[in-house]
Chain A
Amino acid sequence: MSTAAPTRTGAARRRGPQDRQRSRARTRSDLRWFWVFCGPFVLGLVVFVYVPVLWSVYLSFFDARNTVTPTTFVGLDNYAYLLTNRAFLVSMGTFVVFAVLIVPTTFALSLGLALLVWRARFAAAFFRSAFFLPTACSYVVAALVWRLSIFNGARFGLVNAGLRAVGLDPVAWLSGEHYLYWVVLVSLRLWLQAGFYMVLFLAGLQRIPTDTYEAAALDGATGWRTVRWITLPQLRATSVAVLLLLAIGAFQAFDEFYNTLVSVGSYPPYARPPLVYLYLVSLGQGTQDLGVGSAGTVILTIVVALLGALQLRILRPRKDEA
């Protein structure tokens, strides 16, 4: 609100009581408008995010089986149970293993694809589309294709047919032996995600000013050296963003694990990431332990919030400048 209000004559004049009145009215009206614009969103956040989280904190202190209005207060028992429960701890370990497997591979593949596509002279658009297309596919459909057709453990799966063609025995990919299911799950997510992150890298590559390259070329830098010493360092911000997005994405894994491994009424004890474990405990597999499920939600929320806070801390300063 400027202190010098230009009038029609163009000359400034002093602020008077009328201006203060007008500015109070404007502030009141602003307040109203603020809530008109932001109201629905805030209401939705409160009702569907904040209240449930608080309710789950409440529920986590009760023994709530098959009911959402429990009466038996158990204090920290649910938390103690979870933190000493092998299945829960194994699920956190599963997340770590999964993240270690998927994050570097996706990063490398998507960066590699971006570098290849970016400098391609022919059909770059076609290649870009081909790699980006899997993003349109849902995790459910991809899991079905991987489970029933490509990595089907019976002799007629695509990979097994290939193995048999070269004289090897078919492999039961999803049976839990030798951790082979990781091949299935990692390749699945890799296929689905690589294109998405490739696009992020392409955007980052495009942001690099061309004179950087011209200057480097003048100095004699070419090909791989350009990539190593010019391109990659300029992609640092994008890289960090990609790594964190990948990690948080790995934490939220549910759809592909569930659809690849579930069978009638049961889910194997291996390959249970945290969300699958949470789902099985609170709503599936014959038990409906909402107290433990709520405690698990609280713990997982804290973990993912830490990851998210890390992401924001590293990336936020840029956004505030905008």
Chain B
Amino acid sequence: MSTARGPVRGGPEVVRHVVLGLLSLLFLLPFYVVVRNALASPAELVSASWVWWPADPSLANLRRLFADENVQFARSLLNSAVVSVLQTVLTVAVSAMAGYGLARVPSRWSRVVLGMTVLTLMVPTTVTFVPTFVMVSSLGWISTLRGLVVPVLFSAFATFLFRQFFSGFPVELEEAAALDGAGRWRTFTRVVLPNAWGICAAVGTITFLNAWNSFLWPLLIGQDPAYRTVQVALSAYTSSQRVDTAQVFMGSAVAILPVLVVFVVLQRQLVQGVERSGID
């Protein structure tokens, strides 16, 4: 028997699937560890022999986590949610507009802006965190929502993706709209964007993931405990006097949950976004 992928053989297939199965177990192991630790009692966590599953799994750790006033975990979850959603929506908006402008609005400035974008692509903003921190701190934006969201909105990568996409967008649709009397803006919002749902979702999903999991920038900016994101709150345990390991893991479990949901629901978009990020 032969398929488009080549002939199928019995033995190697079994081996392949066994190997895949073992590897999957290995890859899912850390998630198991998080859940086990989140539900375990402090004694079970430090017991000499590995406890595979807590004898009495309870959500006591959950209650303690949210009750801890110093960590303000619920607040940090809220901060993460607000920051991530804002960052996603605004990044997509700004980059989609810029990408469209670069692709469809002729101007002698196009080359300059494209050059700037490419230049920024070459230097990831993580490397320039020191001066960006200095700039943001001079603006007085430390420990503010503005400071957490705005400086990281400007993604050269997203703009580039949108430019690529809009360059390949069927011109006829836009010309039809123009004939109907629509100006540039209406053409963009009424005709182009609704047909660009796929790329918007892809860019949005990746942006949301990055925003939720982001650490260095919120660490620098969100210094007031009331402005911490969930990643910074979790990290604080490592440099804290009291490492309540069970709380840390319960917190981790709670922190992973939203992104797992996004992942499951939007996996296809995520995969699309990832594919475009390498080559195109």
Contact = CB atoms under 8 A, between A and B. Distances in A.
A127 interface: yes
Nearest to A293: B130
Interface stretch (A14-22, A35-43, A79-87): A35-43
A297 interface: yes
B135 A264 contact: no
Contacts of B144: none
Nearest to A315: B279
Interface in B130-162: 130-138, 150-151, 153-154, 156, 159
B19 A196 contact: no
B123 A52 contact: no
Interface string A55-66: 110010000000
A154 interface: yes
A217 B7 CA distance: 8
Interface of B is mostly: helix
Interface of A is mostly: helix
A51 to B, nearest CB: 6
A217 B6 contact: yes
A305 interface: yes
Given A144-B248, A308-B121, A252 B126 contact: yes
B164 A133 contact: no
B113 A38 contact: yes
A262 interface: yes
Contact of B27 (A134, A226, A296): A134
A166 interface: no
Nearest to A319: B280
Interface in A204-228: 204, 210, 213-214, 217, 222-223, 226
B239 A262 contact: yes
Interface in A182-219: 191, 194-196, 199-200, 203-204, 210, 213-214, 217
Interface stretch (A2-10, A97-105, A275-283): A275-283
A122 B17 contact: yes
A263 B238 contact: yes
Contacts of B110: 34
A283 B5 contact: no
B135 A47 contact: yes
B238 A262 contact: yes
A141 B34 contact: yes
A129 B110 CA distance: 40
A45 B184 contact: no
A29 B151 CA distance: 30
Contacts of B131: 52-53, 55-56, 59, 294, 297
Interface string B97-110: 11011100111011
A136 B256 contact: yes
Contacts of A117: 20
A299 to B, nearest CB: 10
A143 to B, nearest CB: 8
A77 interface: no
A121 B17 CA distance: 9
A116 B20 contact: yes
A148 B278 contact: no
B179 interface: no
B245 A223 contact: no
A156 B252 contact: no
A278 B220 CA distance: 13
A138 B212 contact: yes
Contact of A199 (B30, B94, B234, B271): B271
8 contacts: A30-B107, A36-B184, A41-B159, A53-B128, A55-B134, A123-B17, A147-B238, A275-B216
Interface of A: 30-31, 33-38, 40-42, 44-45, 47-53, 55-56, 59, 68, 113, 116-123, 126-127, 129-142, 144-150, 154-156, 158, 161-162, 191, 194-196, 199-200, 203-204, 210, 213-214, 217, 222-223, 226, 237-238, 241-242, 245, 248, 251-252, 254-255, 258-259, 262-265, 275, 278-279, 282-283, 290, 293-294, 296-297, 300-301, 304-305, 308-309, 311-312, 315, 318-319, 322
